[in-house]
Chains A and B, each alone.
Chain A
Amino acid sequence: MKSLQRSFKELLRYPSAVASLAIILVLLIVSAYTLIAIPYGEAIVLWRGGENIWYQSPKNAPPAWTNFFTSKKLVETMIFNTDDEDINKTYEVSEAGNQTVTFEFPIDYQFDTFPQELTLFTKGTFVEKAPFISIVLVTPDGREIRITDFAVQKTGTYRFSQDDRLARRVGNQFPHEAIFAQPGSDPLVPLKGEYVMKLSLVTFEADSDVDAELVVYGQVYGIAGTDHLRRDLKVALLWGIPVALAFGLLAALGTTITTMSISAIGTWYGGWVDELIQRITEVNLVLPLLPILIMVGTFYDRSIWTILGVTILFSIFGGGIKTYRAIFMQVKESPYIEAARAYGAGSGRIIFQYLVPRIIPMLIPQLVTLIPSYVFLEASLAVLGLGDPVLPTWGKVIQDAQSNGALYQGLYYWVLEPAVLLMLTGLAFAMLGFSLDRVFNPRLRGI
């Protein structure tokens, strides 16, 4: 215990170790947060839910912070809902006994571009006679643009861009652009300022009402942006952290521990046991892991646990067997092992209490450096279309980006975000591994 503490203190002398520990700590905190804030079930729904989950987000929108780096301010997604607290409905009863309901959506438009799309989702409450809605947009310079009017059904979707009449009214332009433009400009130039969308409806029944939601689809969205299905990449990027860490750690631990045990057993017993292990290793070393995983994924199962199991299985008899064997061969001849035999220690005890602990200091740095290689492996499999079919992971984001031509469309964020996270994770573990090696290795000289 004390020596562990000492090693840790020594480790903190290396700035790279401190940096990598900080990165790993952040990754751990974020994955803990993710697992709590977006539990598995919710993540699956958010990632695979379908149009009714993602309808509020724009398509292929870069993250909102890209606005900091561009001189043009891109439209951010804005959502207005009659359920919001600051939206007040005013009710008035006319002489005819009809009720008029009015409400306004104030749109603060300070952008240099136009929204991707503008959609009004409506939900009418009525028994027989549908309420009637009319929409007017008041521009900052005082113009009133009549948008449309229609009878509100139980549910309705009004897409500004697809209203031909509105298009004609605004001079045969895209309506969702033209209404935010300076009058007479060609090409269209946005008019910044406070817009007010006034919605007034007439209801013909008592208790009849309309709930509305206006979505101004921006060109940027959230902290991570969205993909071709309007999905928020944040979900996949956040979930990718625990998945990557768990896969990397489990695979690294699983392979290292079993490899070391098998190697120790072979070295200790020698003879045919050792021969067998060596031959299996030699054969296995020339078997390519990736094609095997691709075959398993294609013909059997693509679940991350299957892939993890197969990965561990094939990595056990890797080069590690030979490396550890070389060390064990030396340790095996140590006088302390001979002494243990002389006082009656059995083979099992000698292997796991005398041989294995001797190489643990060497093992820890190796294990840590192994983690990123398995994280990358999982990502590569996902890119090849063999990722877990359910879980959102970094690899799958890259695969989606690639198969939807993200780079041709200039959607760099789509590829860069998961790639940067992968590199960061890899870098952190690699740096930590190297520092650990420096801490532990001087003590290995004795072996």
Chain B
Amino acid sequence: MTENNVVVDTRTEHKEGKLLTIENLQVWFELRRFGFGNAGYVKAVDGVNFDLHYGEAIAVVGESGCGKSSLMKTILGLNIPTRGEVTFDGTKISGMGTKGLKWYRSQVGYVQQDPFGALAPFMTVERILEEPLIINGVKSKTERLRRIHKTMEEVKMFPVDDFLNKFPHMLSGGQQQRVVIARAMIMEPKIIVADEPVSMLDASVRVEILKLMRGLQETHNLAMIFITHDLSTVRFFSERIFVMYAGKMVEKSPVDELLDDPRHPYTLALLAASPEPDAANAHTYKEVPPGEPPSLVTPPPGCRFHPRCPHVIKGLCDEKEPPEFLTGPEHYTACWLFQSEQA
């Protein structure tokens, strides 16, 4: 299982179908009271299911604290799932063992939000890019340099040699994020996980970086899952969009389908609150959600959105958790309002 073979696989075959499967994933963090005793759990991710296909980009949206980063870190193998499974290319990561997990990590690139913080301040660009190669056993220095050059060119850092000896603080934010992307790409992974990759960048370079990522995704047939708050660009940079609320996916749909025909009341509220709503549909997103996001320690029974929902059905929404209803082509909505459509 050397990474070289795997890369050849990705390139030549342009596989389709499921690459990553998330089944009933729960990520709970134990709350400790003054260091002693259990004071309950923060249910950051609580029962999430989805498939990620080869070469597909998924955007995850949701308000702050709903568990998006926790989900990403679990996919990266940084959080251990409390329950449920992450399956990569047919192999469960929980059963991979230390070596397998290391290989899996080389297959998943990580792009963080704060590019400066994501780069070790005392390492040069060359060293930063070399680290994953060294760790994953690329022994020859010339081979490492070759791959560093190739990747730097792919993220459009020209001329490469001018950047290799620079420290992160000598680069602009956009350049720093390109280095972060290069580092995520250097092991020629199959998936890129990006946690708000442009939210800390200058507005002027955001689209550029998104385009770069989209380009890489297309040329390498990369699967990508990224968190965003910017609904105005989502349409152009992803195939599907998932709406997350309090540790659960409330709506999963192809991008155009969701933006043109949002179903879940929370999605509507989210789109209304979006700073740059799609002008054509602006009038449909009028409901602003009252109240606060629910506690993740003791989430409300039934639908987690019901305390804020304007369409709450008493006796149903506050008691039974809604399953996912098919509300359009590949469009799933976890809301009792669409119970009838399903039938």
Are A and B part of the same complex?
A: yes
Tell me, yes or no, whether A354 is within 8 Å of chain B by CB: yes
Assembly CA distance A30 to B110 (angstroms): 56
Mask for A341-377, Cβ within 8 A of B = 1, else 0? 1111110010001100110100000000000000000
Instruction: Chain B residues near A349: list those with CB within 8 A.
Output: 135
Closest beta carbon of chain A to B223's beta carbon, Å:
16
Sample of 13 further A-B pairs with CB below 8 A, known A342-B108, A343-B131: A335-B112, A335-B118, A336-B119, A336-B120, A339-B180, A341-B78, A342-B76, A342-B77, A343-B105, A343-B110, A344-B135, A354-B120, A358-B121
Assembly CA distance A353 to B128 (angstroms): 11
Assembly CA distance A357 to B105 (angstroms): 24
Tell me, yes or no, whether B136 is within 8 Å of chain A by CB: yes
Mask for B51-93, Cβ within 8 A of A = 1, else 0? 0000000000000000000000100111000000000000000
Centre residue among A335, A338, A339, A341 by max chain B CB count within 10 A? A339
Tell me, yes or no, whether B117 is within 8 Å of chain A by CB: yes
Assembly CA distance A358 to B132 (angstroms): 19
In the complex, the answer to whether A358 meets B122 with C-beta atoms within 8 Å is yes
Tell me, yes or no, whether B106 is within 8 Å of chain A by CB: yes
Centre residue among A338, A357, A358 by max chain B CB count within 10 A? A338
Contacts A339-B110, A339-B183, A343-B132 given; does A334 touch B117 at CB 8 Å: yes
Assembly CA distance A35 to B269 (angstroms): 81
- By beta carbon, the residue of chain B nearest A353 is B131
Closest beta carbon of chain A to B81's beta carbon, Å:
16
Which secondary structure dominates chain A's binding surface? helix
Closest beta carbon of chain A to B3's beta carbon, Å:
11
CB < 8 Å: which of A335, A342, A446 contacts B114? A335
In the complex, the answer to whether A446 meets B78 with C-beta atoms within 8 Å is no
In the complex, the answer to whether B135 meets A345 with C-beta atoms within 8 Å is yes
In the complex, the answer to whether A342 meets B105 with C-beta atoms within 8 Å is yes
Centre residue among A335, A343, A344, A354 by max chain B CB count within 10 A? A343
- By beta carbon, the residue of chain B nearest A357 is B122
Mask for B104-142, Cβ within 8 A of A = 1, else 0? 011010101110011111100000000110011000000
- Interface of A with B (CB < 8 Å)? 3, 334-336, 338-346, 349, 353-354, 357-358, 360, 446
- By beta carbon, the residue of chain A nearest B115 is A335
Assembly CA distance A216 to B10 (angstroms): 96
Instruction: Chain A residues near B105: list those with CB within 8 A.
Output: 342-344
Closest beta carbon of chain A to B101's beta carbon, Å:
8
Instruction: Chain A residues near B180: list those with CB within 8 A.
Output: 339
In the complex, the answer to whether B106 meets A343 with C-beta atoms within 8 Å is yes
In the complex, the answer to whether A339 meets B118 with C-beta atoms within 8 Å is yes
Q: Which 7 A-B pairs have the closest CB atoms?
A: A343-B132, A342-B110, A335-B117, A344-B105, A335-B118, A344-B102, A336-B120
- By beta carbon, the residue of chain A nearest B104 is A344
Closest beta carbon of chain B to A426's beta carbon, Å:
31
Closest beta carbon of chain B to A4's beta carbon, Å:
11
In the complex, the answer to whether B76 meets A340 with C-beta atoms within 8 Å is no
CB < 8 Å: which of B112, B119, B121, B136 contacts A344? B136
In the complex, the answer to whether B187 meets A343 with C-beta atoms within 8 Å is yes
A-B contacts, CB under 8 A, total: 58
Instruction: Chain B residues near A360: list those with CB within 8 A.
Output: 122
Instruction: Chain A residues near B119: list those with CB within 8 A.
Output: 336
- By beta carbon, the residue of chain A nearest B120 is A336
Closest beta carbon of chain B to A11's beta carbon, Å:
19
Closest beta carbon of chain B to A1's beta carbon, Å:
10
Closest beta carbon of chain B to A439's beta carbon, Å:
16
Closest beta carbon of chain A to B32's beta carbon, Å:
12
- By beta carbon, the residue of chain B nearest A358 is B122
Instruction: Chain A residues near B76: list those with CB within 8 A.
Output: 342
Assembly CA distance A3 to B119 (angstroms): 17
Assembly CA distance A353 to B113 (angstroms): 23
In the complex, the answer to whether B135 meets A343 with C-beta atoms within 8 Å is yes
Assembly CA distance A342 to B102 (angstroms): 9
23 residue pairs from A and B, CB less than 8 Å apart: A3-B167, A336-B120, A336-B121, A338-B78, A339-B183, A340-B120, A342-B77, A342-B110, A343-B106, A343-B110, A343-B131, A343-B132, A343-B135, A343-B136, A343-B183, A344-B102, A344-B105, A344-B106, A344-B135, A354-B120, A357-B120, A357-B122, A358-B120
Closest beta carbon of chain B to A279's beta carbon, Å:
14
Assembly CA distance A338 to B76 (angstroms): 10
Assembly CA distance A335 to B122 (angstroms): 14
Contacts A343-B131, A344-B132, A349-B135 given; does A336 touch B118 at CB 8 Å: yes
Contacts A335-B117, A335-B118, A446-B121 given; does A340 touch B78 at CB 8 Å: no
Assembly CA distance A338 to B120 (angstroms): 11
Assembly CA distance A343 to B110 (angstroms): 8
Instruction: Chain A residues near B132: list those with CB within 8 A.
Output: 343-344
Closest beta carbon of chain A to B292's beta carbon, Å:
26
Closest beta carbon of chain B to A245's beta carbon, Å:
29
Which residues 179-223 in B have Cβ within 8 Å of A in the complex? 180, 183, 187
Which residues 297-329 in B have Cβ within 8 Å of A in the complex? none
Closest beta carbon of chain A to B189's beta carbon, Å:
9
Centre residue among B78, B114, B120, B183 by max chain A CB count within 10 A? B120
In the complex, the answer to whether A345 meets B131 with C-beta atoms within 8 Å is yes
Assembly CA distance A335 to B120 (angstroms): 9
Closest beta carbon of chain B to A339's beta carbon, Å:
5
Which residues 212-271 in B have Cβ within 8 Å of A in the complex? none
Closest beta carbon of chain B to A359's beta carbon, Å:
10
Instruction: Chain B residues near A344: list those with CB within 8 A.
Output: 102, 105-106, 132, 135-136
CB < 8 Å: which of B106, B108, B117 contacts A336? B117
Closest beta carbon of chain B to A343's beta carbon, Å:
4
Assembly CA distance A346 to B101 (angstroms): 12
- By beta carbon, the residue of chain B nearest A349 is B135
Assembly CA distance A335 to B176 (angstroms): 13
Assembly CA distance A354 to B120 (angstroms): 7
Contacts A343-B131, A343-B132, A344-B135 given; does A338 touch B106 at CB 8 Å: no
- By beta carbon, the residue of chain A nearest B117 is A335
Instruction: Chain A residues near B106: list those with CB within 8 A.
Output: 343-344
Closest beta carbon of chain B to A78's beta carbon, Å:
63
In the complex, the answer to whether A340 meets B117 with C-beta atoms within 8 Å is no
